[in-house]
């Protein structure tokens, strides 16, 4: 059973909030860079002379790099501390955006997005590791949700403001300034951020490849880590797929709405997540025993939303689209439950690694769903058929959540029976006995 470090106070001081805010602005910048091609797609197609298939490669590459780097990022954060990794993230983000600003060929632009993906990948896990060092468990969910909210502000900046800048100063000045501002922010991180309340930098002893493999194995053995992975796999991918790639095509080509209307409807995802994030984070931080039941309710609501979107005869009315998108927008806030599970069920020295494992989930689901939608759409030409992929991925993830929820609960009860401390007190239910039907005995908490 993990224990929280003595350096984490019962309530975080103002200094910790300022440190977190500086780090969270790095995440805001990362999300801006990640989503900037959402409104610059037509400009990119014209600048590099490519079609829609080549444009989709930008998104798939960046998400792929992000997903592939999450576990290495967790290991790096545990090894070198979040402050150093955030500084590296800013360097990669800034250089990638500068390269994109100056790129005049598709190959160079693709390389630039890959570099951006690398910088993006280093950011979120670092911010959450920093929060775990500075905030007690009851505040961690709120801080995680607020981090996500700042990220959505970066998303908003990459919509209408970026559109106006591209129409005014143009591609090169806009992205060049964005890259240079990002590079300049390294000074703020260097001055303001401290890895822990008592130390500006923290690091652990160098580990061999075999020791890192053992650390990963230990994190994966914890049912709470697996439950966090599948929670993050299942909750945010609907929102990600719609915002990053298929939302506008579905609304314009599949539903017959104008591009302006489609872009406005996608803003529902951003606003919904920004409002729901802090509210959900604050509530679950006070009532952690309710986090998985609430996730289950959300998944049921998501299934209903997709059933309405795919089953509505003819064009889906705007009010129905807004209602469905509001439900789907809660996926980002609910995904933060996965990070709380990683923090609660792992020792602090392994929280970065466990958080990296969890963060892989949503982006694996996003990548798989995006690619399958593209394949089905090319084969059938029907958006409703292609988007059935969303229901299938949702059902698969919900099944895996059920499996690991039961195993995690069993591990907590076993720890209580041994007299060990547990991060959350759970009430036993008759259905906990069905855990045995899902396989092996629970691993230690």
b/e 353-387 (16+ beta carbons within 10 angstroms → b): bbbbbbbbbbbbbbbbbbbbbbebbeeeeebeebb
In a domain, 215, yes or no: no
**Residues with Cβ < 8 Å from 13, sequence gap 6 or more?**
197
Give yes or no: residues 162 and 280 share one domain. no
Give yes or no: residues 184 and 226 share one domain. no
Domain boundary among 194, 212, 234: 194
In a domain, 170, yes or no: yes
pLDDT at 52: 62
pLDDT at 53: 66
Q: Domain range for residue 311?
A: 222-445
In a domain, 164, yes or no: yes
Domain boundary among 174, 194, 214: 194
- In this prediction, the residues of the chain whose per-residue pLDDT falls under 50 are 1-8, 436-439, 441
* Euclidean distance between CA atoms 4 and 137, whole angstroms: 8
Give yes or no: residues 150 and 228 share one domain. no
Domain boundary among 194, 209, 241: 194
In a domain, 23, yes or no: yes
The encoded tokens of residue 295 equal 């996730």
* Euclidean distance between CA atoms 242 and 261, whole angstroms: 15
In a domain, 202, yes or no: no
Cα–Cα nearest to 225, from 123, 74, 95, 435 = 74
Domain total of the chain = 2
Q: What is the CATH number of the domain that holds 119?
A: 1.20.1250.20
pLDDT tens digits for range 103-155: 999 999 999 999 999 999 999 889 988 988 888 877 887 888 888 888 888 87
In a domain, 131, yes or no: yes
Cα–Cα nearest to 383, from 325, 309, 328, 300 = 309
**Residues with Cβ < 8 Å from 210, sequence gap 6 or more?**
none
SS3 helix, strand, coil % of the chain, rounded to 5? 80, 0, 20
Give yes or no: residues 66 and 137 share one domain. yes
Give yes or no: residues 269 and 349 share one domain. yes
């Amino acid at each position: 059973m993990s224990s929280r470090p003595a350096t984490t106070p019962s309530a975080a001081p103002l200094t910790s909030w300022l440190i977190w805010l500086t780090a969270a602005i790095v995440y805001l910048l990362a999300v801006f860079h990640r989503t900037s091609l959402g409104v610059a797609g037509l400009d990119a197609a014209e600048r590099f002379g490519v079609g829609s298939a080549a444009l989709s490669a930008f998104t798939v590459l960046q998400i792929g790099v992000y997903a592939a780097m999450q576990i290495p990022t967790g290991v790096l954060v545990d090894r070198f501390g979040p402050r150093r990794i955030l500084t590296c993230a800013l360097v990669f983000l800034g250089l990638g955006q500068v390269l994109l600003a100056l790129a005049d060929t598709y190959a160079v632009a693709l390389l630039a997005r890959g570099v951006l993906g690398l910088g993006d990948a280093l950011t979120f896990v670092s911010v959450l590791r920093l929060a775990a060092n500075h905030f007690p468990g009851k505040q961690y969910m709120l801080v995680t949700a607020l981090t996500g909210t700042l990220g959505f502000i970066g998303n908003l900046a990459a919509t209408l403001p970026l559109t106006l800048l591209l129409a005014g100063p143009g591609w090169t000045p806009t992205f060049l300034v964005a890259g240079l501002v990002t590079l300049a922010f390294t000074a703020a991180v260097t001055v303001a951020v401290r890895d822990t309340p008592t130390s500006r930098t923290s690091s652990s002893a160098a580990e061999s490849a075999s020791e890192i493999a053992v650390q990963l194995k230990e994190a994966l053995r914890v049912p709470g880590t697996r439950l966090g992975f599948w929670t993050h796999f299942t909750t945010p991918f609907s929102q990600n797929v719609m915002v990053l790639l298929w939302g506008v095509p579905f609304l314009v080509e599949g539903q017959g709405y104008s591009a302006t209307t489609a872009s406005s409807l996608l803003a529902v995802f951003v606003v919904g997540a920004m409002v729901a994030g802090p509210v959900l984070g604050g509530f679950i931080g006070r009532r952690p025993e309710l986090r998985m039941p609430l996730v289950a309710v959300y998944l049921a609501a998501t299934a209903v939303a997709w059933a309405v979107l795919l089953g509505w005869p003819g064009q889906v009315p705007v009010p129905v689209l807004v209602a469905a998108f509001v439900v789907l927008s809660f996926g980002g806030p609910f995904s933060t439950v996965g990070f709380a599970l990683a923090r609660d069920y792992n020792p602090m020295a392994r929280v970065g690694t466990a958080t990296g494992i969890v963060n892989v989930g949503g982006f694996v689901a996003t990548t798989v769903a995006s690619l399958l939608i593209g394949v089905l759409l090319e084969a059938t030409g029907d958006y409703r058929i292609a988007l059935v992929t969303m229901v299938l991925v949702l059902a698969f993830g919900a099944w895996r959540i059920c499996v690991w929820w039961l195993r995690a609960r069993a591990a907590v009860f076993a720890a209580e029976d041994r007299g060990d401390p547990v991060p959350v007190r759970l009430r036993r239910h008759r259905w906990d006995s069905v855990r045995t039907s899902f396989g092996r005995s629970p691993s230690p908490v």
